[in-house]
Structure 1
Amino acid sequence: MSTNPRNVALFIFLFLASALVTLTLRSSRWHSYVPGIPGSNGGGVQAPKVAFATFLGANTNPDKMATDAESEAAGDEDDGYYLATRVLAYQLMHSRSAGTNHSIPFIVVCTADVSKRKLARLKKDGAIIRVVERLEAHWLHPGAARWADMMAKLRMFEMTEWSKILYIDADHLVTAPLDGVFFDEAAQTQATGANGAQVAADEAPLPRTYMLAAHGDFFGYDHPWPPPTDSTYMNAGFFIFAPSRVLFDYYVSILHIEGRFDPGYMEQSLLNYAHRREGNMPWKPIWYGWNANWPTSKDWRGGARSFHSKYWDGDSSHDPLLKSLWMEQRAEMEGFYRGREAGHW
């Protein structure tokens, strides 16, 4: 039986037209799609504005060289936290091996006395620099000199242009994507409780809603994997939160009540008090795989995605495998920027 040429031509035309319409629709959807961020699919649902952030203070290394010029001449090897901030920025914004969504901004929160040269380098690396004022109280006595400015981390709660921020201490190794933490079950807005017994008259009002999620402190290398999920003490080296000026004002009111919390661990102690499990704003536990403190290769083999430790220093207790991975990330970071600045990409 012969085939009508007109029917064949009509079929081809309809096929090509359908393909063109499909391609156009997919293209328009792609331009409004943020990889790894559900809801940004061009269907009228606005993706939340999220960011990664870390803190860099001038007092994080009491043994640093006397002048910035000396530090620069020594390759900044005296300032481990600055080097770690650069490595973290690379891991979150550029590294293919870490694999995190590179469209998510990375903020470096810092005090005004941090070297302007170092901040310029971090900005060149792609970070957003946010200089903030210190938060101080006469009765605070940090447990270690390098924690002297850590209360300034709370300034992030004033950054309400962001709907969610994942805070990560600079001393971290990242080995897998962290984007999904923004949609962790625990990282959703909660209604503030109304237990009057947990309301103190000398503290500022609580917000109507809040969101703060973290994981418990492991308190040592000898911990099981998976770790227990019933901890009542959160580690403030890795937590996700929703900025809120009302919540910030509440923190500041606590800060100025002498003895309200243990000042040894500074902002970590304040957050643990403000978000105590029995209070009206208890912190929520995130999936344990997002992060491990006191990390070992057992955590890495178990599927943890980031590891909290100072791998640049000579501490012999650090896991050698994780330390080598961080060193590789540092070398990869340095090679990446050398290549980019030489015009290779």
Structure 2
Amino acid sequence: MPPNPKTIALCIFLFLSSALITLTLKSSPHPRPWLPSSNHQPSYSLPNTPKVAFATFLAANANPDRAAIDAASAALDDADDGYYLGTRVLAYQLLHSRSASPNTTAQIPFLVLCTRDVSRRKRDRLKRDGATIVLVEKLQADWVHAAVERWVDVLAKLRLFQLTEYHKICFVDADTLVTKPIDGVFYDEATLTQPTLPNPEQTKPDEAPLPRTYMFATHGDYWTYEHPYPPVTDLNYLNCGFFVFTPSTTLFDYYMSLLSIPGRFDPGFPEQNLLNYAHRREGNMPWKPLWYGWNVNWPTERDWRGGARSFHAKYWDGDPSHDPVLKGIWERQRSEMEGFYRGRDEGGWS
């Protein structure tokens, strides 16, 4: 009996359908969790996620009225060391505060660059607070003399540019009040990688080579409380109390070459003026302006009510020029911080 043509056609159809399905599954770019793999791992991989971090800097107590030894400072509960206190409040704001640290930010590490003369007691306390301690060596040059004593070690901030395991770092000075999440700064368009410009007139033969690309984004310095909000953005002089950058050993070496050339920049504000020279607007690596609301220097209540998210001022001291509303918010953040850690320490949870 000859085979039924309908049966042959059905077999051919089923064979071709099976082959087509198999080919489609093999070539599909989408994950197929229902298909087992030989090593029981997903048959696809997620793209690499850029590694980002917040960071600040802490040197030994530079308060002119500081206790002579660390033990005496401990007896005062470190109230004499404003920058250490500010660092603890900042750690709380970025890592734990309900108002300033959403779940997304809590996954972003907070680095504290410490010179080696910061006591182990303070470093250990910051570790318990959740910070990641990065010990660094000081940077100095014979011709660089800071205008204020407490700035003598600030050049060590430049060690941040050696932390090349991070794609982007947002540096925040310890004297900063954060009232809303600021993790969105890593997506600010000013933080896109830029090509270094080739202008030969801005290339100095006595300076180290520039990197092929760079990223350095920040704000201008307003110099006064009498600024509008939104503030103007076409400023030339940058403030380095808040900036975002991509670490680079080539860029760090370039900075070090500037330190080796006496008079290349005004040393009164050591690291700030070095960065202003390196990233001058007319140079080959001009700084890019961030959205004005991420951070305000010389801040007022007007900036806060306008929607700004962080404010650069030493609210721990008695400066009468500080905005009383912002100072009050910072003091409440300090109280929250102390209560939070006291409860955690006494409760034995982490």
TM-score above 0.5, yes or no: yes
2:132 to 128, 134, 141: 128
Give the root-mean-square deviation of aligned CA atoms: 1.4
Which residue of 1 is the match for residue 67 of structure 2?
A: 65
Distance apart, 1:59 and its partner CA: 4.6
User: Is 1:199–2:211 an aligned residue pair?
Assistant: no
- Partner of 2:269: helix, strand, or coil? helix
Instruction: Choose which of 114, 117, 122 in structure 2 pairs with 1:118.
Output: 122
> What secondary structure, in the 3-state scheme, does the structure 2 residue paired with 1:92 have?
helix
What's the CA shift for 1:97? 1.5
CA contact (8 A) 2:219 2:289 kept: yes
Q: Which 5+ residue runs of structure 1 have no aligned equivalent?
A: 1-23, 26-41
Where 2:128 maps in the other structure, the secondary structure is helix
Structure 1 equivalent of residue 158 of structure 2: 154
Higher-Rg member (1/2): 2
- The residue aligned with 1:55 is 57
Instruction: State TM-score, norm by structure 2.
Output: 0.85
Percent identical residues: 65
Q: Report the Cα distance in structure 1 between the residues aligned to 2:153 and 2:190, rounded to whole angstroms.
A: 28
Matching of residues 1-345 of structure 1 within 5 Å: 44-100=46-102, 101-343=105-347
Deviation, 1:43, is 7.8
Greater mean alpha carbon deviation, residues 84-93 or residues 62-71: 62-71
Q: Aligned to 2:171, what secondary structure does the other structure show?
A: strand
Tell me how many residue pairs correspond in the alignment. Answer: 306
Corresponding letter in the other structure for 2:311: F
Task: Give 1:212 shift.
Answer: 0.3
**Would the alpha carbon gap of residues 90 and 184 (structure 1) be closer, same or farther in structure 2, given more than 3 Å must change?**
same
Q: What do the CA deviations read for 1:142-200 (whole angstroms, capped 9, x no partner)?
A: 01000000000000000001110000000000000111100100011000000011000
Structure 1: which amino acid aligns with 2:206? D
- Partner amino acid, structure 2, of 1:49: K
User: What secondary structure does 2:311 align onto?
Assistant: strand
Runs of 4+ in 1 over 6 A off after TM superposition: none
The corresponding residue for 2:28 is none
Counterpart CA distance in 2 for 1:295 and 1:118 is 29
Q: Which letter maps to 1:46?
A: N
TM-score norm. by structure 1 comes to 0.87
Displacement of 1:99 after TM fit?
Answer: 2.8
CA contact (8 A) 1:54 1:167 kept: yes
8 Å contact kept, 1:59–1:148: no
Per-residue Cα deviation, 1:235-294 (whole angstroms, up to 9, x for no partner): 000000000000000000001100000000000000000000000000000000000000
Distance in 2, Cα, partners of 1:45 & 1:222: 46
Deviations 1:190-237 (A, max 9, x none): 000000110000000000000000010010101111000100111000
- State the 1:344 CA deviation: 7.2
Letter in 1 for 2:74: E
Quick check: 2:99–2:181 contact (8 Å CA) kept in 1?
no
